[in-house]
Amino acid sequence: MPVSFTYSARELANKLKRFSTSALPIDAGRRGSCNRCGECCKLPFPCPFLRYDADGLSSCAVYHARPPSCRKYPRTVHENVTPETCGYYFVDVKDIGIGPAATEQAGG
């Protein structure tokens, strides 16, 4: 039986935005790390590769082959549509000097 996904224009726009901007670099002000909440893997619907362990932490079944839009989320503060749960945050590099960007997210 085929699966039908219904999502809003805003959710679709966010998904297309993540895909289209994934070739761009990560903002130098990104700090933090993935806290494995899995919220970004549900945009706009749950990823079929999203897995949860016994402690409720998410992981990606295709972690080493995941697309750039997953590897780089959130790329900029404006693209972060899950700021309440995301382990990444952004600082103004003008105030602190340009430092290294955060590493790739660990959870997927």
Blockwise average pLDDT, block size 10, the chain, 108 residues? 61 72 89 93 86 95 90 90 93 71 52
**Boundaries of domain holding 64:** 27-96
Q: Among positive and negative, which fits the CA dihedral 68, 15, 52, 84?
A: positive
pLDDT value, residue 103 = 54
pLDDT value, residue 61 = 95
Inside any domain, residue 5: no
CB 50, CB 57: distance < 8 Å: no
Inside any domain, residue 105: no
User: Considering its fold, how many domains does the chain have in total?
Assistant: 1
Inside any domain, residue 22: no
pLDDT value, residue 1 = 47
Inside any domain, residue 87: yes
Inside any domain, residue 7: no
Inside any domain, residue 107: no
Inside any domain, residue 85: yes
pTM of the complete model beyond 0.95: no
Inside any domain, residue 18: no
What span, in angstroms and rounded, lies between the C-alpha atoms of 56 and 8? 27
Question: Nearest Cα to 12, choosing from 47, 45, 48, 53?
Answer: 45
